[in-house]
Amino acid sequence: MNFLILGGTVFLGRHLINAALAREHDVTIFNRGRHEAEVPPKVERLRGDRNGNLESLRGRRWDAVVDNCGYVPSVVRASARLLAGAVEHYTFISSSSVYRDTSVPGVDESYPVAAITDEQLRASEQIKPEGGIMAHAYGGHYGALKALCEQETEERMPGRVLNVRAGLIVGPFDYSDRFTYWPRRVARGGDVLAPGSPERQLQFIDVRDLADWIVRMAEARQIGTYNASGPDYRLTMQRLLEECQAVSDSNARFVWADEEFLLEAGLAPWSEVPLWIPETNETNRYLFSISHDKAIAAGLAFRPLAHTVRDTLAWDATRPPDTKLRAGLAPEREHEVIAAWHKRASV
C-alpha cells in the first residue's frame, strides 16, 4: 500500500512511519520538514504547510492517509477536501478528550462529545501554534475542536473514515514527559512522592502499539470511531510505580500522600504531578476509565508494561543530561512537599 502521513515526525508520526515500513508499505510524509534527520531515506518527503500551502499534494494518489496533526476544523476541511478524490481510506487521529465529560466510568464511543460556540470556534481558528504540545495551545477547547475535525472528515469522505480517539500516548520520543517523568524519577531512587490512592486506575497506550494497530486498520479499510487506549487489564498507579522500580532496579521508597494534602500544597495535577487526576475533579474523574473494548475486539494489542518503561528509560538516557522535563516536580519542590507530609502525619 501507499501511505500518506500528514504531520510531524517527532512522536506518533515517527512510529507510524516505522510501522508502515515494517509491514512493507510505501510511505510519503507531508510536513514542514523540520526533522529531516529523523526520517528514513526510503520515505518520500513532500513539503508544505497545512495552514495554506497544500500544493505538493495536488495531482497525487495514495491508498491511505493518516492525519496525524489535525487540530482545527478549517485546516482538516481543506486537506480532506483536497484528498477526497486522491485516497481510498482516511484515518484521523482524534483524542479521548472529545467527550463532553468523563464524569462516569466506562465512557464508550456513543457518549456525547464536547461542543463550543461559534465565537469560540472563530477564536480557535486564529491560533497558529509553533511547535510544542499542540493541545496546550487550544486549552479547554482542544477536545471540542477534535470532535469537529472528526465531523469534517466524515462529511468529505463518508464511508471511508477511521476516527481514532487515542488516550494518553506514551513511550520513546514522547516529549510531553507526562509518562517519562515517572520511570526517570523512580530510577533516581530515594523518597518518591506518589499521588493519591495506590489503587487509582490509569490508562495509556504505548505509541508503537497504537501505530501498528492504525496501520493494520488502514490495511483492512476499517472505518468508524474507536477509543484507543490500554492496557487490557485494570492498571493502578501502584503497579506502574512498582514496574518502574523493578525495571530500573531502584531503591525508591514511595510516599503516598492523599489528594486533599496535595491540593492544599498547591500541586498542579497532570502537569506538576503527571497522571494524577483528583477525584474531586467531577468533570474528568474517570478519564482513565474509558472503554476501549471496541478497539480490542478489532485487534488492538499491548506489549508488557515493563517493555514500555524500559524503552522509555533507554530513550530518555539518550537526551542531553541537562534536558528539563516538560512535566513533573522539581527535586527541591518534591523534597519540600514530602517533608511537609511527614510533618503532618506525625502530628
pLDDT of residue 184: 97
pLDDT of residue 321: 86
pLDDT of residue 67: 96
**Are the beta carbons of 210 and 170 closer than 8 angstroms?**
no
What's the CATH code of the domain at 135? 3.40.50.720
Range of the domain at 34: 2-346
Count of domains for the chain: 1
The total of other beta-carbon atoms located within 10 Å of residue 119's CB is 8
The residue behind cell 512511519 is 17
If the chain, 347 residues long, is cut into consecutive pieces of 10 residues, what is the mean pLDDT of each piece? 92 96 97 76 92 92 95 93 96 96 97 92 74 55 94 96 98 96 98 97 98 98 98 98 98 97 95 94 94 98 98 97 92 96 82
pLDDT of residue 132: 47
Q: How far apart are CA 142 and CA 139, in angstroms?
A: 6
**Are the beta carbons of 54 and 128 closer than 8 angstroms?**
no
